[in-house]
Amino acid sequence: MKILALTAAILGGVLFAAGAASAQQPAPNPLDIIPEKMPFSTPYGAPITLERALVVIHAAIAESTKRGWQMNVTVLDSGGNLVAFERMDGAQLASISIAEHKARVAVRYRRPSRVFEDAIQKLGYNYIMTLDDVIGSRGGIPLIENGRLIGAIGVSGGTGSQDEVVATAGAAVVNK
C-alpha cells in the first residue's frame, strides 16, 4: 500500500511539475507572424489638389454640423504637407495641431490612425509609442484614389469616435 501511495505521489508530483512547466511557456508573440504580403503598401500618388481637399473638408464639416459637433479638419497631400484646413466656430484650439498630426500619421504610415490606437490599447503593443510622429488616436484616414494614396484627412475636436465619424464622411468623397 505504501509503494502504491508513494508511486501515486511521485506521479502526481511529476504531472504537477510538467503542468507548471507548460504553464510557464511564454505565449507565442503575434509580432513573429510573417505575413505573405506587405500590409498597408498602397503606393503614393500625385498630391491631392486644393479643390479636391476643400470638397473633402466640406463633406466632413457637413457631417459635423449635422451632428452639432465643432471640429478642426485638415487635409494633407501625399507628401504630408498641408493643403487645406478649416476650424469650425467653437472648435477646441488644442485640436488644431492634433487634426494635422492624425492626417500626417495616416499619410506617412499609409493606414488610418485608429490602427495605432488599437495596437496600443487592445493589443498592448506599447512599442508603437516609440515610433516617430505617431498618434494613437482615431480621426486620421488616408485618401486613396485609383489605388494610390493622394493625401489624408485628419479630424479632431471631439472624442476619438466622433473624430473618426467626421473623418470617414470626408474621406468618402475620395475613397470609393
Q: What is the arithmetic mean of pLDDT over 22-30?
A: 72
Q: Is the pTM of this model over 0.85?
A: no
**Per-residue model confidence (pLDDT) at position 14:** 45
CATH level 3 topology of 50-171: Beta-Lactamase (3.30.450)
Please determine, for residue 26, whether its predicted confidence score (pLDDT) is greater than 70.
yes
**Per-residue model confidence (pLDDT) at position 19:** 54
pLDDT tens per residue across span 80-104? 999 999 999 999 999 999 999 999 9
**Per-residue model confidence (pLDDT) at position 4:** 46
Distance CA 66, CA 91 (A): 15
Q: Domain ranges in the chain? A: 2-32, 50-171
Q: Which residues contact 80 (CB under 8 A, 6 or more apart)?
A: 104, 107, 108
